[in-house]
Structure 1
Amino acid sequence: MSEDLTKIKTVKIIYPQIYAYTLPTIEERKGWVKIGYTERKNIEDRIREQTKTAAIDHPYNILWSGPAKFINKNDWFTDHQLHNYLSKYKRIKRMPNTEWFYYNGYLSQSEEDFQDFKHEIKTQIREQESYELRPEQKVAVQQTLNYAFSHHNAEFLWNAKPRFGKTLTTYDLARRMDAETVLVVTNRPAIANSWYDDFEKFIAWQTNYAFVSTSETLKHRPVMTRDEFKEQMFAGGKERMIAFISLQDLKGAIVFGGSYPKLEWVRDLDWDLLVIDEAHEGVDTLKTDVAFREIKRNFTLHLSGTPFKALASGQFSNEQIYNWTYVDEQEAKENWDNEEGNPYIKLPRLNMFSYQMSQMITDQVNKGSLIEEESHDYAFDLNEFFSTDDSGKFIYEKDIRRWLRTLTTNEKYPFSTKELRNELKHTFWILDRVASAKALYRLLRDDPVFEHYHIVLAAGDGRIDDDQGANEKALDRVRKAISENERTITLSVGQLTTGVTVPEWTAVLILSNMKSPSLYMQAAFRSQNPWEYEKDGEVYQKENAYVFDFAPERTLMIYDEFANNLSTRTTGGGGTTQDRKDNIRKLLNFFPVIAEDEEGVMTELDVSQVLTIPKAIKAREVVQRGFISNLLFKNISGIFASQEAREILEHLNPMDEGRLVPRSQSEAIDTQEVEVDESGEAVVAQEIVIGETQANFGDKIYGEVQQLAENAVEEEKSSVAQEVARTFRNQLTDSAKEIAKENGLRVAVGEKAIQDSANILAREVEVIEKQAEIKQKGGLYNQLSRPFVNKKRHVDFMLSL
């Protein structure tokens, strides 16, 4: 019987145990003890699988078994940790690539060693672990090595989902590349601990590498500065270096385009390997391009779990990309040939539940809203819905209270019953504004259901009012709250959405108009971390993780992009319609989407329901389709045409469905929301309203000041770059139009090709300008610092006499 995916079920009971047995009738196994691990209740079920098949039936002797749990702390372990302990600290001989250990007749010693491990009795201060890469990690390393050895000064991308194990795999690549100098640059300094943890555990004890960093995140860890590294190297210490630097720190240095005299050594060194970690949103600005161009290196590795922009830009060919997606992971989990040793078994499956927020508050929506004594139609928009006034209160507080009540009382919503609340004890809610998070914090604490949850505010300064609150970091507050409370809700505005592991989170609620597929999926994966816990003597393991979305139109757009835009074949609208359907169908196997049908009943969507209007299909093809049959896509809110076409449309008489003549009375067709680009081509806005409800929504209400502020933050382009681009366009546009006509293409195609080329040319000019500015700053810095350098040399000379 197949699993009912419409029901929420996050955990299953497991029984983590270590067992030991011998095979007394097999001569070559005499003196050897098999020490294994199982999560089954009866260990003999697992042992019989190993000793009895259709071809063999070996008698076995069970020596002992016990819970895989440490004695002095509430932590569970696996056989891998125990095996490492037996090899390193007990020096027990191990049969290569097996779980057999040689005790030479002293079989009872194996249980004593097991008890020592549970009590953490070690002969050395720190554990030093060996490692073996998973199959997909080995492929990533080998594919990258092959490319690096045949392409000098090349770049490579690992399109690898969160929890791929990028840090350890990168270290292994550096070792096999025989790199002496490795530079890791990240846009998120908070992940420094992950890099250092793996280095300290797996790399430091068995290599000649030292870890160098001045990151504030690592100030309490025993990392070295550049000077300390040189001092210990001259004293006979480690000779190879792995340096970790934040992108912010790099761009702040004069030698990389900033204003501070630092990191000259980074520019001066010739690096064997540059690693750009989390190369997705934000790591593509002019300043970043300039900074990276100043780094001399032999090879560049880009790491990202969601490289939508990089793939869409065509920066990497298929030969330059290694892919390990969520689907790859779940397929590997499902297809592993046996339970034992499955490295993916603890990775939960993601499930998407999509609700129409407007259906939850429809009665209130139709009444409109009164703002500043004027009546306005209520425009449904998640950011607008959770907007606040100057006093910090929700503008639509009554509607939000109604939504919370629906969330906790209507049986199809995730917090509506005691059973569901027990399944979702710790959840992560994402909003758009700090003020919204603070206002929701107050409402939740006053809610008859959510008042029983500990609410963590991970937004802004983390305080409810300006005059109170602690200076604890957001992640520390979350972990502390979870350790002390049975139920928690974490409210976030951008914080904790990437590179953070909170195993207890079982669901993410998206309560903002988050449009970036990269940021959206990074946030969604926060609930997919493995988790095990014990209650009443039973051990539970997270089996499913959930994403609850309240904007169905956005849900399917993001889903389409996640399925297709992380593949070079279908990114940016590439591939055939069937290719895109196949990608979505495969993703649905492991990431089902549950949404409301026309009667409001939650149902599992199939590929035809998800892929109604793929993001890549041009607007013209959408208009030609005439209508959209999808249970979530009831109407399209725009017609795309030129200005002349708009004027014609606005004077046409509408025609009723099924009739061949127009109405006798003319009604103007509203085209005010239509957007076109410079060439008159239709632009499909990210904010298209697709899910129609009983409500009649009006125009969105935005303040003029807010709009002006958003416009003001745009970076001013170089006037030289603009002039170069303009000249380029003027000289080549006419020729491009002619070429387009000769090849049967629209004129707009030729114009777009020239515009894209002009943009690339303008960016290159900006980079050159910035590099010249860096050289000028560097020269001035050297001139100013030379007197101090000469003075120091004079003092050193005098002291040497």
Structure 2
Amino acid sequence: MEKNGRFFEGKTSARPMIYAYEDASYPGCLKVGYTAVDVEKRVAQQYPTLRPEGKKPYRVIFAEPALHEDGSSFTDHAIHRMLEKKGMERVGGEWFRCTEKEIRAAWLAVRTRTANMENRTRDFAMRPEQKEAVKRTLNYFKAERADGRTPRFLWNAKMRFGKTFAAYQLARRLNARRVLILTFKPAVQTAWKEDLETHLDFEGWQFICREQGPEALPIDAQYRQADAGRPIVCFGSFQDFLGVNKETDGIKPQHEWVREINWDLVIFDEYHFGAWKENAKALFLMEDEEEEYNTALPETNSGNVCDEQDLPITADHYLYLSGTPFRALNSGEFIEEQIYSWTYSDEQHAKAAWQGENNPYAALPRMVLLTYRMPEDIRQIALGGEFNEFDLNIFFQAKGKGSEARFTHEEYVQKWLDLIRGSHHATATDELKLGGKKPPMPYSDIRLMSLLNHTLWFLPDVASCHAMNNLLQQRQNI
């Protein structure tokens, strides 16, 4: 996205900060604010009549970055809510009757997202794209159910879209009483738990999951003790629910209750990690697949169509969440009417097009997205796969560990390294065809070289990372 005729802006000096200062006119009180400029300058702006040579009636006593541990930012509103939750009196506007120590404690709680955040202190609304995702999904669900089919819908949304919050809002609008969330990536449990337990919209909802510790209740016991009159959200991993009892080779006893419920909504989170695998699909049964499933099962001596422990999990609606659902899209698993997409480009456009105040995208960083056409002599090595497309997993395939790791196609990876630093000779002809106008490569274009102090490269696996480290140590790449 071009800005002021330039693709690459210089580095910004903006640094989000939380600050607090005292004023002799407000004894025992501190004002807590947020700024993206120099703190002293920001506070001075609040005293416009003060002469430069005059004595300052205020003193800044606290100034720390307004950043979570993962690098995302927050504002002074989060600090204000935390102070009020801790019992600090708000005496007006941003002024609180508190001490510097209490402000620091509140800042630490917000920054680290500790247990202090588990109270319901959030009341933000959905952003426009989240509302659109929920609306489109509800309409599709309604149409499919009217035709007697079990609906399946995919959200193909970038990181930080807010899939957990929006998915809960979808469940709320469905009037869902029983929601099952399954993932191949159990680490996302914290995000699901936090959104449900801190936002005012989900007051009364219950969250149960597999807990750790000697006194932790099994998940089935948690469900039995939950209030059946209120909505229940159950979170679990595919690895756990797909596992079998080694002694009986059947369902784990603590999971039998899951299959006794017809869930209102089942949510597959991080779907790209493996939910397309056959053993995972076998865990679920759509209504239109029931006849095929029953006829495929062997009869037993008891005369039952199937053994109860073979019964799959059923639901009225299915929602799939992923930021990179490329396999599902390429295989045609979802058609256009079943997909809502929100990309980085969409987000940047929404930020620039917003009219009026309170831009919900204002805190998002400006992004420059560059795509390149791979030279033919580099592309060929990764063609010929299932869809005859360039496959990064094949291209960066590696074997070995540590210093012994090597790329299977090291020669071509080397050509790729040459390409991104502008020394790949095969591109010279293409540049001549473009009239000498070279595309900006990350490690050769002067505008980019001055900005890229730190870069993050994602590779398919650990062996590829070791192989890349070893290749970068070779003389031609130093």
Report the TM-score, using the length of structure 1 for normalisation.
0.39
Match of 2:65 among 43, 51, 69: 69
1:16 aligns with 2:16: yes
Matches within 5 A, 1:102-117: 103=91, 109-110=95-96, 112=98, 116-117=102-103
Q: Which amino acid aligns with 2:116?
A: R
Q: Is it true that 1:278 corresponds to 2:270 in the alignment?
A: yes
Relative to structure 1, the CA distance from residue 395 to residue 167 in structure 2 (aligned partners, 3 Å threshold; closer, same or farther) is closer
Shift of the 68–405 alpha-carbon distance from structure 1 to 2, 3 Å rule, reads same
Q: CA deviation at 1:39?
A: 1.8
Change in Cα spacing, 1:206 to 1:394, as seen in structure 2 (3 Å) is: closer
1:89 to 71, 78, 86: 86
Q: Does 1:325 align with 2:327?
A: no
CA gap 1:356/1:12 in 2 versus in 1, 3 angstroms: same
Which letter maps to 1:336?
Answer: W
Equivalent position of 1:299 in the other structure? 317
Q: What is the number of residues matched between the two proteins?
A: 383
**Contact 1:19–1:64 (8 Å) recurs in 2:** no
By how many angstroms is 1:209 displaced?
A: 0.2
Correspondence for 1:168 among 160, 165, 168: 165
Contact 2:10 2:451 in 1 (8 A): no
Match of 1:56 in 2: none
How far did residue 15 of structure 1 move?
A: 3.6
| d(CA) in 1 for partners of 2:63, 2:223 | 47
Alignment of 1:613-692 (within 5 A): none
Measured after TM superposition, the shift of residue 167 of structure 1 is 1.0
Residue correspondence of structure 1 range 380-529 to structure 2 within 5 A: 393=406, 413-415=441-443, 420=449, 423-430=452-459, 437-447=465-475
Change in Cα spacing, 1:302 to 1:115, as seen in structure 2 (3 Å) is same
1:228 aligns to 2:221 (yes or no): yes
Q: Which moved more, 1:127-136 or 1:195-204?
A: 195-204
The CA distance in 2 between the partners of 1:225 and 1:204, in whole Å, is 28
- Tell me the secondary structure at the aligned position of residue 334 of structure 1: helix
Task: Give the conservation status (yes or no) of the 8 Å contact 1:212–1:224.
Answer: no
Partner of 1:126: 116
2:370 match: secondary structure = strand
SS of 2:161's equivalent in the other structure is: coil
Q: Tell me which amino acid in the other structure corresponds to 1:103.
A: V
Q: How far off its partner does 1:426 sit?
A: 3.4
**CA separation of 1:353 and 1:211: change in aligned 2, threshold 3 A:** same
Partner of 1:186: 183
What is the rounded CA distance, in whole Å, between the counterparts of 1:403 and 1:353 in structure 2?
14
Distance 1:423 1:221 in 2: 48
Q: Alpha carbons of 1:448 and 1:197: their partners in 2 closer, same or farther (altered >3 Å)?
A: farther
Q: 1:165, 1:221 → 2: CA distance?
A: 33
Residue type of the alignment partner of 2:183: T
Counterpart pick for 1:244 among 209, 216, 235: 235
Output the CA distance in 2 between the equivalents of 1:430 and 1:396.
14
Give the superposition deviation at 1:310.
5.0
Contact 1:203 1:209 in 2 (8 A): no
Name the counterpart of 1:207: 204
Tell me: CA distance 1:34–1:108, structure 2 relative to 1, closer, same or farther (3 Å): closer
CA distance in 1, matches of 2:215, 2:167: 21
Cα distance in 2, alignment partners of residues 221 and 344 from structure 1: 45
- Alpha carbons 1:179, 1:272 under 8 Å: kept: yes
Instruction: Name the aligned partner's letter for residue 12 of structure 1.
Output: T
In the TM superposition, what whole-angstrom CA distance separates every residue of 1:211-269 from its partner, at most 9, and x where no partner exists? 223xxxx6479975323314643xx7995432222234434459xxx954322221111
1:115/1:341 Cα in 2 relative to 1: closer, same or farther (>3 Å)?
farther
Query: One-letter code of the match for 2:262?
Result: D
Higher mean alpha-carbon deviation, 386-395 vs 155-164, is at: 386-395
Q: Distance in 2 between matches of 1:314 and 1:389?
A: 32
Q: What pairs with 1:248-267 in structure 2 (closer than 5 Å)?
A: 248-253=239-244, 259-262=249-252, 263-267=255-259
How far apart are the structure 1 equivalents of 2:94 and 2:407?
A: 68
Pair 1:336 & 2:368 matched: no
Instruction: Kindly indicate whether residue 143 of structure 2 is the aligned counterpart of residue 141 of structure 1.
Output: no
Q: State the Cα distance separating 1:421 from its structure 2 match.
A: 7.1
Matches of 1:314 and 1:270, distance apart in 2:
23
Distance 1:251 1:64, change over 3 A: same
The 1:404/1:253 distance shift into structure 2, 3 A limit, reads same
1:268 partnered with 2:270: no
Contact 1:17 1:37 in 2 (8 A): yes
What whole-Å deviation, never above 9, does each CA across 1:141-183 have from its counterpart, x for those lacking one? 3454555567465443333322211112222333444433210
CA contact (8 A) 1:182 1:272 kept: yes
Q: Name the structure 2 match of 1:346.
A: 364
Q: CA deviation at 1:14?
A: 0.6
2:4 corresponds to: 2
Distance 1:349 1:109, change over 3 A: closer
Match for residue 313 of structure 1? 332
* Contact 1:186 1:276 (8 Å CA) reproduced: yes
Aligned partners of 1:144, 1:221: CA distance in 2, in Å?
41
Asked if 1 retains the 8 angstrom alpha-carbon contact of 2:204 and 2:230, the reply is no
Aligned twin of 1:674: none
Question: Where does residue 682 of structure 1 map in the other structure?
Answer: none
CA contact (8 A) 2:266 2:317 kept: yes
Q: Give the aligned residue type for 1:247.
A: F
Secondary structure of the residue that 2:369 maps to in structure 1? Answer: strand
Amino acid of the residue matched to residue 130 of structure 1?
A: R
Other-structure match for 1:670: none
Structure 2 partner of 1:516:
none
d(CA) in 1 for partners of 2:162, 2:215: 23
Structure 1, unmatched stretches of 5+, are 22-32, 49-61, 93-101, 361-379, 451-801
Residue 77 of structure 2 is aligned to residue 80 of structure 1: yes
Partners of 1:115 and 1:237 lie apart in 2 by: 43
Structure 2 residue aligned with 1:501: none
- 1:17·1:68 contact (CA, 8 Å) conserved in 2? yes
Partner of 1:118, secondary structure, is helix
State the secondary structure of the residue aligned to 2:442. Answer: coil
Give the fraction of aligned pairs with identical amino acids, expressed as a percent.
28
Contact 1:415 1:421 in 2 (8 A): no
Contact 1:210–1:229 under 8 Å retained in 2 = no
Q: Using a 3 Å threshold, how does the CA distance of structure 1 residues 138 and 79 change in structure 2: closer, same or farther?
A: farther
Secondary structure of 1:131's partner? coil
- State the TM-score, normalizing by the size of structure 2: 0.61
Secondary structure of 1:126's partner?
helix
